[in-house]
Chains A and B, each alone.
Chain A
């Protein structure tokens, strides 16, 4: 048990270091430590699952050790910039004011084809229209075109935009969500009134949502 504990501590640290060295392009969507945890936990769980002769403990101890280390490291990286930089790295600018920073491309080992591919995914064909392209710590590329090449927002176009509210689900698949009634500031009488208007019952409703502006979305159960 102590041996698997110590081994997990070392393997976890080594895996994070290796993933960090592999660079952002290997990760995509996840931070290095999250990727390591996902990879490790899945594999650790499968060994005692498949091998009946191996006690459950040999899988549980490393999984709990990984959990403990992850909780400690995530807290330290939240509190300390140095730890965060060490564990997650820092964003790298690949395009600045329309210029591709070739040195940063080499450093992150992102090829020109990959860069242009990412830009095409964001509907950008002309590299010169990009003011900034930043490779984030999770491997995603954030792209900011020049303001003149960006679609105008409602504010920029001077169009008055409607206010948006988060709809709250009141009935889901024939079940009344009592907790959500309070969140939406409604009561059972309001539900009965709405259902009466729609000539429906709770069990006959597939979806009923309402937002702060009292916009109701109703779907009957088929």
Chain B
């Protein structure tokens, strides 16, 4: 009987932990994706660079937690794209920066979406 309740408890705990993690990933990634989207849309190059910097800080802040839960491959790709975007910002390449920020925004959003309990992820 004890083992049965341990099993039930374990299943409930894992379900709750899974739902919490999915929500935490969405909550942490969505603001980053929005910042990057804004950076892509901003006509002022300096504003875009500031938004990119803020997005990078937030991304780095959540990096460890995310690395525990998901495949490191896509995260490494996002890291390298951030580095590339920062280089574009330093060189004043506004068009390239805008395109890259939009791409980054999509990637960050997709990374979070991979953890959400949607039917397409499930299947």
A and B pair up: yes
Contact B3 A53 (CB under 8 A): no
Partner of A72 from the list B7, B14, B15 (CB cut-off 8 Å) is B7
Q: Which of A32-40, A57-65, A148-156 contacts B (4 or more CB under 8 A)?
A: A57-65
Which B residues lie within 8 Å of A76 (CB)? 4
Which A residues lie within 8 Å of B117 (CB)? 2-3, 6
Contact B3 A75 (CB under 8 A): yes
Q: Which residue of B lies closest to A72 (CB)?
A: B7
Q: How far is the CA of A3 from the CA of B122 in the complex (A)?
A: 6
Contact B122 A5 (CB under 8 A): no
Contact B18 A1 (CB under 8 A): yes
Q: Count residues of chain B with CB under 8 A from any CB of chain A.
A: 28
Q: Which residue of A lies closest to B10 (CB)?
A: A68
Contact B122 A6 (CB under 8 A): yes
A216 at the B interface (CB under 8 A): no
Which of chain B's residues 1-26 have a Cβ closer than 8 Å to chain A?
A: 1, 3-4, 6-8, 10-11, 14-15, 17-19, 21-22
B67 at the A interface (CB under 8 A): yes
Contact B122 A61 (CB under 8 A): no
Contact B7 A53 (CB under 8 A): no
Which B residues lie within 8 Å of A57 (CB)? 68-69
Q: Count residues of chain A with CB under 8 A from any CB of chain B.
A: 25
Partner of B70 from the list A2, A10, A55 (CB cut-off 8 Å) is A55
Contact A61 B18 (CB under 8 A): yes
Contact A1 B73 (CB under 8 A): no
B82 → A minimal CB distance (Å): 18
A25 → B minimal CB distance (Å): 30
A71 at the B interface (CB under 8 A): yes
Partner of B11 from the list A3, A7, A72 (CB cut-off 8 Å) is A72
Where the two chains meet, the residues of B that have a C-beta atom closer than 8 Å to any C-beta of A are 1, 3-4, 6-8, 10-11, 14-15, 17-19, 21-22, 67-73, 114-117, 121-122
